Amino acid sequence: MCGFLFQYKINTARHVLIDSAKHAMHHLKHRGPDDQGIWCEPPCVIGHHRLSIIDIEKSKQPFCDPSGRYVLAYNGEVYNYKELRQSLEPRWQFKTLGDTEVILAGLIIHGDAFISLMEGMWAFILWDKHDETAILSRDRMGKKPLFYQCHPHSFACASSLNALSTLFLSPMSEDINSTADYLRYGYYLPGTTAYQNVFEVLPGNMLIWHPQTDCQQKPYWSLPIGGFTGSKKEACQLLRETLVQSIKRRLIADVEVGAFLSGGIDSSLIVALLSKKFGINLKTFTLGFDEASFDETPYAQIIADMYTSDHFTERCHHVRMEPLIALILQHAGQPFSDSSLLPTALLSELASRTVKVVLSGDGGDELFSGYQRYQARVLLQWYTRLPKLLRKNINHLVRSIPEPVAHHSHSLLKKANLFLDIADHHQKKSPYIAPLLYSSDDFYRLAPELSDKGHPAPVLPIETEGTSFLEMMAMDALVYLPQDILAKVDRASMAYSLETRIPFLDSKVVELAFSLPSSWHRQGFKGKRMLWKTFSDLLPKQIWNRRKQGFSVPLHQWFKNNAGDDIIHLLDHIKTPLNPLYVKHLLQEHRMGQRDHGHRLWNIYVYLQWVRHDHI
Domains identified in the chain and CATH numbers: 2-219 (3.60.20.10)
Q: What is the pLDDT of residues 551-567, one digit of tens each?
A: 668 888 899 988 899 99
User: Is residue 153 very low, low, confident or very high in pLDDT (cuts 50, 70, 90)?
Assistant: confident
The pLDDT, as a whole number, for residue 375 is 77
Query: Across 261-388, where does the E strand assignment appear?
Result: 283-289, 310-316, 357-359
Burial (Cβ within 10 Å: 0-12, 13-18, ≥19) of residue 526: middle
Structure confidence at residue 406 (pLDDT): 54
Per DSSP, 330 falls in state I
Give the residue-averaged pLDDT of 490-494. 97
Whether 199 and 148 have beta carbons less than 8 Å apart is answered as yes
DSSP 62-129: SEE-TTSSEEEEEEEEETTHHHHHHHHGGG-----SSHHHHHHHHHHHHGGGGGGG--EEEEEEEEET
Tens-place pLDDT, residues 397-421:
656 666 665 555 555 656 666 666 6
- Mean predicted confidence (pLDDT) in 369-374: 86
> What band does 218 get if pLDDT is binned at 50, 70 and 90?
very high
pLDDT digits (tens, 9 = 90+) for 455-473: 998 877 665 544 478 888 9
CA angle at 201 for the pair 221 and 161, rounded to the nearest 5°? 150
Can you say how many angstroms the Cα of residue 178 is from the centroid of all Cα atoms in its chain?
Answer: 17
pLDDT above 60 (res 98): yes
| pLDDT given at position 355 | 97
Looking at residue 432, its pLDDT comes to 83
Banded model confidence at residue 332, pLDDT cuts 50, 70, 90: very high
Helix (H) or strand (E) holding 551: none
CB 55 within 8 A of CB 198: no
Residue 467, pLDDT score: 46
- Whether 122 shows a pLDDT value over 80: the answer reads yes
- pLDDT reported for residue 391: 65
Please report which confidence band the pLDDT of residue 372 belongs to, taking 50, 70 and 90 as the band edges: confident
Query: Which range has the worst mean pLDDT, 12-16, 384-388, 493-497?
Result: 384-388
- 510-539 pLDDT, tens digit per residue, is 999 999 998 999 887 789 999 999 999 999
Question: Could you tell me the pLDDT band of residue 248, with boundaries at 50, 70 and 90?
Answer: very high
For position 381, what pLDDT does the model report? Answer: 67
pLDDT at 470: 86
pTM for this prediction:
0.93
**Which helix (H) or strand (E) element contains residue 581?**
helix 580-591
Q: Is 348 helix (H, G, I), strand (E, B) or coil?
A: helix
- What is residue 364's predicted lDDT score, i.e. its pLDDT? 96
C-beta separation of 446 from 438 below 8 A: yes
pLDDT at residue number 498? 97
The pLDDT > 90 percentage for the chain reads 74
Pair type for strands 499-501 and 147-151: unpaired
| pLDDT at residue 177 greater than cutoff 50 | yes
Selected residue with higher pLDDT from 389 and 335: 335
For the chain, the average pLDDT equals: 90
The span from the CA of 457 to the CA of 434, in Å, is 9
Residue type present at position 563: A
pLDDT above 80 (res 443): yes
Q: Provide the pLDDT for residue 471.
A: 86
Q: What percent of the chain has pLDDT over 70?
A: 89
User: What's the confidence (pLDDT) of residue 96?
Assistant: 96
Q: Residue 427 pLDDT more than 80? A: no
Question: What pLDDT, on a 0 to 100 scale, did the predictor assign at position 590?
Answer: 94
- Identify the pLDDT of residue 439: 86
Render pLDDT for 37-63 as a digit per residue (tens, 0 to 9). Answer: 999 999 999 999 999 998 888 889 999
- Name the range with the highest mean pLDDT among 101-110, 148-157, 403-412, 451-460: 101-110
562-573 vs 580-591: helix crossing angle, rounded to 10: 170
Give SS3 for 212: coil
pLDDT band, very low/low/confident/very high, at 542 (cuts 50, 70, 90): very high
End-to-end CA distance of the chain: 32
Range with the lowest mean pLDDT among 319-328, 404-413, 427-436?
404-413
User: What is the arithmetic mean of pLDDT over 248-264?
Assistant: 95
**Amino acid 460: pLDDT:** 73
